[in-house]
Structure 1
Amino acid sequence: MMIVRRTRADVDLAKVDWAALEATTDAEIAAQIAADSDTAPIFTPTDLAQARRVAPAFSPDDVRVIRQRLGLSQEQFAARFGFSVETIRNYEQGHRRPTGPARVLLRVIASEPDAVTRALSQEDA
């Protein structure tokens, strides 16, 4: 089976059948795992209970890290969040550093990118 890698930008969450997903029972999940071992969870419930989220310290100056974590190209990032591509390139190459409102926006994008996307799409509507 061919593996297809997708980024957040490729996934249209509006097309997900959330009701069907929520209605999936543990027995159905177990049957899916039995049918295809690639769908099996990597971690046991004990592993998950002991897991901690580890995130590197964020610097709003590191636009490349934010953009790559979201799986977006420079053009996609700029279009989604209202920057010019040239500004993103300047930030990533170290020619300029985000200040003021841009720095605040990048901090919010780093922690809640979906909220920013929703807010900006409501503005356009």
Structure 2
Amino acid sequence: MAKITLEEALKRPVTVDRARLDATTEEDIRRYMMEDGFDPDDPSYLDGAAIVLPPRMIRERLGMTQATFAEVIGAPLATLKNWEQGRTMIPPCVRTLLNILDREPEAALRAIMAGRPEAA
């Protein structure tokens, strides 16, 4: 695998045809799906796909500030902000925790808080 520096990567010409991408219609997408062997009217092609909610949406559903949510999940506030802004990838173990918090918030919060000392 070839390795290049960031500077070298930035000097390379852009290969995305933005005009063509912007001109793509929903009908084009349907046609591409069919060309790739998917039936756009049969959502079973999504079987096994996970719906992943952004951390901000989960946090807001729980009614927490960034600072509180970061404390609850045991992450630095700056890290949570980076995740919410898409600057850094969320590790798989954290993604799992976020999925649990999304699907079973009361149980997850009880379990998380059970091992912590009570606030004075």
TM-score of the aligned structures, taking structure 1 as reference length:
0.49
Instruction: Establish whether residue 105 from structure 1 lines up as the match of residue 97 from structure 2.
Output: yes
Q: Deviation string for 1:31-69 (max 9, x for gaps)? A: xxxxxxxxxxxxxxxxxxxxxxxxxx9414x11111111
Distance in 2 of aligned mates of 1:88 and 1:95: 10
What amino acid maps onto 2:87 in structure 1? Answer: H
Counterparts of 2:114 and 2:63, CA distance in 1: 23
Give the secondary-structure state (helix, strand or coil) at the position aligned to 1:124: coil
Q: Does 1:123 align with 2:115?
A: yes
Between the two proteins, the alignment pairs up a number of residues equal to 68
> Per the alignment, in what secondary structure is the counterpart of residue 98 of structure 1?
coil
Provide the C-alpha distance between the structure 2 equivalents of 1:99 and 1:66, rounded to a whole number of angstroms: 16
Work out whether residues 81 and 117 of structure 1, in 8 Å CA contact, stay in contact via their aligned partners in 2: no
TM-score (norm 2): 0.51
Alignment match, 2:79: 87
What percent identity do the matched residue pairs reach?
35
Q: Helix, strand or coil for the counterpart of 2:90?
A: coil
Question: Greater CA radius of gyration, 1 or 2?
Answer: 2
What is the 5 A alignment of 1:46-85?
A: 58-60=51-53, 62-85=54-77
The Cα of 1:103 is off from its aligned counterpart by 0.9
What's the counterpart of residue 28 of structure 1? none
Considering Cα pairs closer than 8 Å and 6+ residues apart, tell me whether 1 or 2 has the greater RCO: 1
* Shift of residue 81, structure 1, vs aligned partner: 2.0
Secondary structure at the residue paired with 2:115? helix
Gaps of 5+ in 1: 1-56
- State the SS of the aligned residue for 1:96: coil
Name the one with the larger helix percent. 1
Dislocated runs of 4+, deviation >6 Å: none
The answer for unaligned runs of 5 or more in structure 2 is 1-49
